[in-house]
Amino acid sequence: MLDKVMPKRGTFFQLLASHTDRLVGGATATMRLLTALGAPGGQDLAALIDEVNVNENSADDIKAQYIRLLYESFTTPLNRQQMHTLMKDLDRVLDTLQSVANAVRMYQIESSTSEARVMASLGADACTRLHRAVVALADRKRQAEVTALCHEVEALEDRGAATMREAITKLFAVEGDEAAAWHAMKMRRFYTAQEDVLYNCKRAAHTIEEIVLENQ
């Protein structure tokens, strides 16, 4: 009973690390999906979309364990509300990754663009850094490393936002018929979904930074 209300400190961080491991898996699958789109002899696109969804579903199970542990525990290693906010932020990243992957099927996107591939790569890089930051967060001696990783995530989001603006400018610089207009509209929504991934990564990075500041 005591273990339930006063779990070991590491249990929370293990669950966070497991969740962000799925985050990296989902982001990597999304990057591979965008690379494979329109490529000759490419990978099975449906399988890559399913891979993103599998990672998201697995992360949801981990989130449920984490939230249950958070509310059943008498003590938590960090501020309870901040720990809850961090999990929500991380989960939001996976939700937006899932939206990007499913949009490929929903919008029937048959080929990728250089901007879409760049944004997918930036998203994978940001998720990898979030995972590393969460793993390091368990060790107070690594606070400087955590902060540096968070700053890198924020810089990646800035690059992603600039790439999105360039991509959308290109879309509407070309005149065409109704089919071309529909293509521009759906790609604008797609690019926006990709930028949402990076924005939510930055949001999670900000939460981690706040946790570090309060626990120095």
Q: Which residues, other chains included, contact 169 with Cβ-Cβ below 8 Å and sequence gap of 6+?
A: none
Q: Which two tokens stand for residue 151?
A: 């700053």
State which amino acid sits at residue 142: R
pLDDT at residue 183 in the model: 81
Do 86 and 204 form a contact (C-beta atoms < 8 A)? Answer: yes
53 burial class (0-12, 13-18, 19+ CB within 10 angstroms)?
middle
Q: What is the pTM of this model?
A: 0.91
Which positions of the chain have pLDDT values less than 70?
Answer: 1-10, 41-43, 175-177
So where are the chain's domains? 2-214
Side chain identity, residue 181: A
> Is 1.20.58.220 the CATH number for 2-214?
yes
- The predicted structure's pLDDT at residue 38: 77
Alpha helices in 45-110 (DSSP H): 45-72, 80-106
Q: How far is C-alpha 120 from the geometric centre of its chain's CA atoms?
A: 10
Residue 1 confidence (pLDDT): 36
What's the pLDDT at 173?
76
Residue among 117, 105, 97, 55 nearest 193 (CA): 97
